[in-house]
Structure 1
Amino acid sequence: MSAAASVLSDDSLLSRLDRWFFRFESLLNLAGGIAIFLLVLLATVNVLGRWLLSAPISGYVDWVEQAMAFIAFFGLAYTQRMGGHIRMDILVGQFRRRWLWFTELLTTVLMLLVTLVLIYGSYLHFWRAYSIGDSSLDINLPTWPAKLVVPLALSVLALRLVLQIWGYLRALRKGGDSPVAVPLIESAADVAAKEAGSVSGHDH
């Protein structure tokens, strides 16, 4: 599944937390988009400066390297909530109700464990850069702010995974086909119809 999935809601505490946290994830995703825009603007100024004035931006590569962390990691939790990460649904998509929720729960728990290990490792990487005063090669930009982004963004992802684990446990207990606060698997036809509506401006 690589397109945005449906996420249902109700009046439960889980659903309210999901919607509140989604607003925070959306702000982070917006910040990542702004970083992309600024990087494109920087690239344009650099090209024009080199072409027209023979004066490219000093440390352009250093700035690009620092921006990559913001671009790559700020949208992680948002994409997870929307069910937008690439995965194979050929087998899982055949399951229904409790078998489906059990499988989703298992994979989400495994993902959380991997994320916690990455948080630990990336934090040590940040702390080492901060402690030794690591900087970029050209204009000596400190590298620790970009490296701090990684454990922070992964921590947000971990919280999203905890909410989804809660959602799958609730679905496993109640059964049914409409759990809240988790991305639902959609058929290829549903995804295509949603994407067509998005392009045409007639979402339903």
Structure 2
Amino acid sequence: MKKKNFADGFINTIEWLAAIFVGLVALNIFINVLLRKFFSTSIPDYYDFGRLLLGILIFWGIAATSYRGGHITVDLVWAAANKKWKRIIDVFATLVLLFVVSVQTYTLFDKVHTTFTDNIQTADLNIPTWPFSLIAWIGDVCAVLLIAVRTWRLVFKPESLHDEHFEQKAME
């Protein structure tokens, strides 16, 4: 059994948190549908919670998929390249992703700050929405960290990657 290091534990934690947010979104929808169907009522701020939790889910989902390399990709050029160029393409693509998500994280922090300073609240319960934006932003920060780990591993330790088809890529 392979010994896990800090980075692997961090990656697994991010994936579990993303899964928990999927569960929270599904639970919010399920409970509200049951309440509306059988009791003609709904969760106060159901829509706001759903919207805010979905935002959190998206950014934590980006974090979870960015490291593994298991998301949808188009590898036409990569498939036709030799081993050296495949590695160059992988590093370049990951660096572009790191740049894009870093800029996104920087701009999302402005959203958190604006939501806090403008004291934006939910419609029914008047709950401040900035903590939801903050949790989404933390997910984006985690995405940057995981992409940085992926970049480092691509360059220095490609055998430690957890790509779905890494074994297949390594054999080519």
Where on the TM-score scale, by shorter chain, does this alignment land: which range? 0.7 to 0.9
Q: Map residues 57-96 of structure 1 onto 2, 5 A cutoff.
A: 57-96=43-82
Structure 1 CA distance for aligned equivalents of residues 125 and 13 of structure 2? 30
Structure-1 residue corresponding to 2:25: 39
Runs of 4+ in 1 over 6 A off after TM superposition: none
- Residue 120 of structure 1 contacts residue 151 of structure 1 at CA under 8 Å; is this kept in 2? no
Root-mean-square deviation (CA), in Å?
2.5
* Structure-1-length-normalised TM-score: 0.70
Q: Counterpart of 2:84 in structure 1: which amino acid?
A: R
What amino acid is the match of 1:160?
L
1:106 CA drift (Å)? 1.1
Contact preservation (8 Å) 1:164, 1:181 = no
Structure possessing the higher relative contact order (Cα contacts under 8 Å, 6 or more residues apart): 1
Q: What stretches of structure 2 of length at least 5 have no aligned partner?
A: none
TM-score (norm. length: structure 2): 0.81
**CA distance in structure 2 between the partners assigned to 1:185 and 1:24 by the alignment:** 18
Q: Is the 8 A contact 2:48 2:122 kept in 1?
A: yes
> Deviations 1:79-111 (Å, cap 9, x if unpaired)?
222211211011112223221111111111111
Across the two proteins, how many residue pairs are aligned to each other? 166
Question: 2:70 touches 2:163 (CA, 8 Å); kept in 1?
Answer: no
Distance 1:21 1:138, change over 3 A: same
- For 1:185 and 1:31, the matched residues in 2 are separated by 20
Q: What percent identity do the matched residue pairs reach?
A: 22
Higher helix share: 2
**Which residue pairs with 1:175 in the alignment?**
none
- The aligned residue for residue 50 of structure 1 is 36
Quote the offset at 1:57 in angstroms.
1.7
43-52 or 111-120, larger mean C-alpha shift: 43-52
* Structure 1 residue corresponding to 2:87, chosen from 88, 101, 117: 101
Are residues 64 and 186 of structure 1, via their aligned partners in 2, closer, same or farther at CA, if it must alter by over 3 Å? same
1:1-204 equivalences in 2 (<5 Å)? 19-170=5-156, 179-182=158-161, 186=165
- Helix, strand or coil: the match of 2:127? coil
- The amino acid across from 1:109 in the alignment is L
